[in-house]
Structure 1
Amino acid sequence: MIRKWRRELPLHIMILPGLVFILIFSYVPMAGVVIAFQKFIPARGLFGEQTWIGLDNFRYVMDLPSFTKVFWNTLYIASMKLVLGLLIPIIFSILLNELRNELVKRSVQTAIYLPYFLSWVVLGGILIDLLSPSGGIINGLLTSLGMEPIFFLGDNKWFPTTLITSDIWKNFGYGTIVYLAAITGIDPGLYEAATIDGANRWHKAWHITLPGMRMVIVLLSVLSLGQLLNAGFDQVFNLYSPQVYESGDILDTFVYRIGLLDAQYGVATAVGLFKSVISFILIAGSYFFAYRFARYRIF
């Protein structure tokens, strides 16, 4: 046991900074959960004498006319991101795998992967310029085609679509790399046998490539269920404005406004705790299904 521990000591030291980070920013703040059940007054301190009000903060939140809309926005935006975030990388990785020119293939991989490394602060500024109704490139193109300019970031009809599309554009390159790695693990002999039998590229993709990717697809699908209520605070915060609260306000931005801007700390903590409990149930369920269908285990 001691010999094994010494052999693995460098690995434990390597993960130590990550464990400390999680401890400080994820576990220590959990002491603040009690605020959800208090009429919290900051001047009295977290462990000072506060007024306990039970579930009143939760009742207050549930009675807010905007909460149902916020919850629906979160569910809709996150669900569309998850579904399209799975489908588009799968389709693109299969198409990319069919390219025979390695230079073109690697160039495309690099191009679609680059946005993944940019923060939403940077991409938000880029999108605001591109989608501007007055001087943006996109609306300039629409105007040149005889169409009316679209206020993508200020119209409740278009804002959710803009969020979903821009998120897919930013992240689908990473998913494509993952699925391409899964494709490389497929036995080339299967393709050779299919060629001898007269199968074309579409037949090979449908009967060999997709089944060969099945385990990875199932694994990523079930693990993504835990993120069903994470619609992307960074993205929404950098792109939305009061005029699109109706269609773009999500739980995270709702908590930000109520807690930090309106100073209703107990109510904001109640909303955050509500989201955390639902997310915990979804994550637990996703890991169960991941083990059930893909034999995935944490350890």
Structure 2
Amino acid sequence: MRVSALSTSDPPPPTIVDSREPAGRAGRRTWRHTLRRDWQLYSLAVLPLLFFLVFRYLPMLGNVIAFRRFKPGGSVFGETWAGLRYFRLFFSDPTFWEVFGNTLLLGVLTLVFCFPLPIVLALLLNEVRTRKLKRFVQSVSYLPHFLSIVIVAAIVMQLLSVDGTVNQLVRGLGGDAVPFLQRPEWFRTIYVSSEVWQTVGWGTILYLAALTTIDENLYEAARMDGANRWRQTWHVTLPGIRPTMVTLLILNIGTFLAVGFEKILLLYNPLTYPTADVISTYLFRIGFESSNFSYAAAIGLFEAVIGLVLVLSANAIARRTVGTSLW
């Protein structure tokens, strides 16, 4: 007896229904669920977000005066439109390019000395086995970070003025006093040295924290392969703190042109303008002493755009070369 392949009494095949939601709807539900679950944590971010909105983002609207003939007491949005007039003015001003060169040079010197020294100090402290000595060095190097810029500038002036401690020592050794703070050739050395003294401890703390995240098994494997301390540092330690190094480097490059305005303003004088005058101090004089706010706003906007380009470029280069970036 022949049996047909499909019998009329067999039940129909089950219908498969796709119960998955669209990706967009599922994502919205996940976000809402997370917000309801962790609303206390998200509420902690409200005040910081308001701070940045009120004091960082809303003032950006004032950059429109860079394109208008703004006068003190007038309306930011109601003045005569000037277009790119103020940008053409400072691009054709030789004083601006001298100031721009000073800014670049001070930024390069600060980056060259202030970026690698915390790494070196952290690596050296990581090798110290005496806990008391390690804590003492950490404290001594970190304390200047808590000093205000005004105090740091006062210390520098107390040490390097004509009647300061250094010149008293020079006179005691039979030499002549050196007016360090009035010599243009000394300003960059003084500024970079004070920056290193004030910031090296903070960077060291960050790198020491990054060193604690490295797996000890990696060092054990390197020792079993016959690697000495230098090889372990090069092949284990430095790759382990590379994300921290890249992050701090990108952040430092982002503030490359924004060299210490307050410290320079406190330390410089007309005699040191040839090497000490930077973009921030120049636009301060143009804006507040000459009341040319539109011209100063154009310079500040140019500085901000250059900083943004530097951050984006450094982030892209880091992502392509070492595979680590901020975003």
Query: 1:36, CA displacement in angstroms?
Result: 1.1
**Aligned counterpart, 2:98:** 69
Query: 1:182, CA displacement in angstroms?
Result: 2.0
Structure holding more helix per residue? 1
Distance in 2, Cα, partners of 1:63 & 1:16: 45
Aligned residues: 296
Query: 1:218, CA displacement in angstroms?
Result: 2.9
Question: Structure 1 pair 281/197, CA: closer, same or farther in 2 (3 Å)?
Answer: closer
**Aligned counterpart, 2:244:** 216
Mapping for residues 275-294 of structure 1, pairs under 5 Å: 275-292=303-320, 293-294=322-323
1:107 aligns with 2:136: yes
Distance in 1, Cα, partners of 2:225 & 2:318: 35
- Which amino acid in 2 is paired with 1:112? S
CA RMSD of aligned residues (A): 2.1
Say which one has the larger Rg.
Answer: 2
TM-score (norm. length: structure 1): 0.90
CA contact (8 A) 1:132 1:139 kept: yes
TM-score (norm. length: structure 2): 0.83
**Aligned counterpart, 1:7:** 37
CA contact (8 A) 1:224 1:286 kept: no
Distance in 2, Cα, partners of 1:3 & 1:276: 39
Distance in 2, Cα, partners of 1:138 & 1:204: 42
1:85 aligns with 2:114: yes
Structure 1 unaligned blocks of 5 or more = none
- Which amino acid in 1 is paired with 2:155? I
Question: Structure 1 pair 67/170, CA: closer, same or farther in 2 (3 Å)?
Answer: same
**Aligned counterpart, 1:173:** 201
Over the matched positions of the two proteins, sequence identity in percent amounts to 42
CA contact (8 A) 1:75 1:231 kept: no
**Aligned counterpart, 2:71:** 41
**Aligned counterpart, 1:152:** 180
Query: 1:58, CA displacement in angstroms?
Result: 1.4
Superposed CA deviations along residues 145-173 of structure 1, whole A, max 9, x for unmatched, are 44443323221000011111101110111
Secondary structure in structure 2 of the residue aligned to 1:51 = coil
Question: Structure 1 pair 66/294, CA: closer, same or farther in 2 (3 Å)?
Answer: same
1:235 aligns with 2:256: no
Secondary structure in structure 1 of the residue aligned to 2:94 = coil
Range that drifts further, 241-250 or 185-194 = 185-194
**Aligned counterpart, 1:98:** 127
1:270 aligns with 2:295: no
Secondary structure in structure 2 of the residue aligned to 1:185 = coil
**Aligned counterpart, 1:122:** 151
Distance in 2, Cα, partners of 1:244 & 1:9: 54
Range that drifts further, 137-146 or 58-67 = 137-146
Structure 2 unaligned blocks of 5 or more = 1-28
Distance in 2, Cα, partners of 1:178 & 1:260: 38
Secondary structure in structure 2 of the residue aligned to 1:52 = coil
- Which amino acid in 1 is paired with 2:239? P
Secondary structure in structure 1 of the residue aligned to 2:115 = helix
